[in-house]
A = this chain, B = another copy of it.
Amino acid sequence: MAGIKDVAAAAGVSVATVSRALNGHRSVSPDTRERVLEAVGRLGYRPNAVARSLRTDRTRTLGLVIGDVMNPYFTELARFVEEEARARGYSVIIGNADERPELQDHHIRTLLDRRIDGLLVSPADGRSPFAPGTRPPTPPVVLVDRWVPGLDVTVIRAEGASAVRDLVRHLRALGRRRIAVITGPPATTTARERVAAFREAIAAQGLHLPEAYVGEGDFRADSGRRVTEAFLDLPEPPEVVFATDNLMALGALDAIRSRGLRVPEDIGVAAFDDIPWFQHTDPPLTAVAQPVAELARAAVGALTDLIEGRAARSVTLSARLVVRRSCGERPAGPTPTNGPRRSA
């Protein structure tokens, strides 16, 4: 493979000049630059990013560690993160934690070893993702979506409380009062927040939430099914199941169907995290939608700010309720609470 030396030889200049010509330095005569570029083209030379990184101590690479690639929410997040990073001249290496803390640690360690310039994490559990032994996480870190309580780093997330309030109000308006919730692993902030928001909203509507209506899942479809089955076995089953994650909502849907019940006639379903698929389920699912693209953009923006020495503040965007048909038909007339609303 042709190296910078070959180019230098071919162009009859020194390696320093080649480097300067390629990095757009002033003080390289147009004539020389021309010759260098010609040689580069002729040899098909491409600079070795490894060598360059060693010298400059910058990899122009961001690490992104997410809870689960197979979760469409994260897939979408990853996609937008890469897009925004690319626009800013960075590559992204994705680490899939598969919701396993030790795998998350593995990826973070690997990414740090590769000297990525910055790290974006959506922590799988409540522990600091910087295991002991990982000294001051050298590169800047930004947390997305999920965060870690005592950890003082920039966090980019969406608040869902008001959308959850909207959801409960919407359900109430449809005449549904017995609402059950499937929570995520209590170790994640998102799970705790969503349940808290839900409890509050229930109380605000003057409704009651028996403990039997709170079931713990793990952000996977199977757990949604399991928990929903328990709900259906209750002497007084709920009228709506609210899953705090999209995969668990799917599981809920399965459990309900396998009992021969109909959605929304017999029981309603709602989910946190809206994903393209929800338009295609039958019935289309009512969900709380996070502004994923904006989250991704804000996160990459904050991270690159930190990398390039600027300050970065935490940002909280707002989620919104997307009403579809899985909780029952909307009563006639305009419903002021669920039009598309811009996030902050």
Contact = CB atoms under 8 A, between A and B. Distances in A.
Interface stretch (A130-138, A163-171, A179-187): A130-138
A302 interface: no
A258 to B, nearest CB: 11
A96 to B, nearest CB: 6
Interface string A275-303: 01101111000000000000000000000
A232 interface: no
How many copies altogether?
2
Given A1-B138, A221-B276, A282-B257, A112 B46 contact: yes
Interface in A54-72: 54, 59, 69-70, 72
B59 A69 contact: no
A25 to B, nearest CB: 20
Interface residues of A, number: 48
A113 interface: yes
Contacts of A314: none
Nearest to A53: B50
Contacts of A75: 69-70, 75
Contact of A253 (B46, B69, B114, B280): B280
Contacts of A282: 257, 281-282
Contacts of A277: 250, 277
A78 interface: yes
Interface string A298-329: 00000000000000000000000000000000
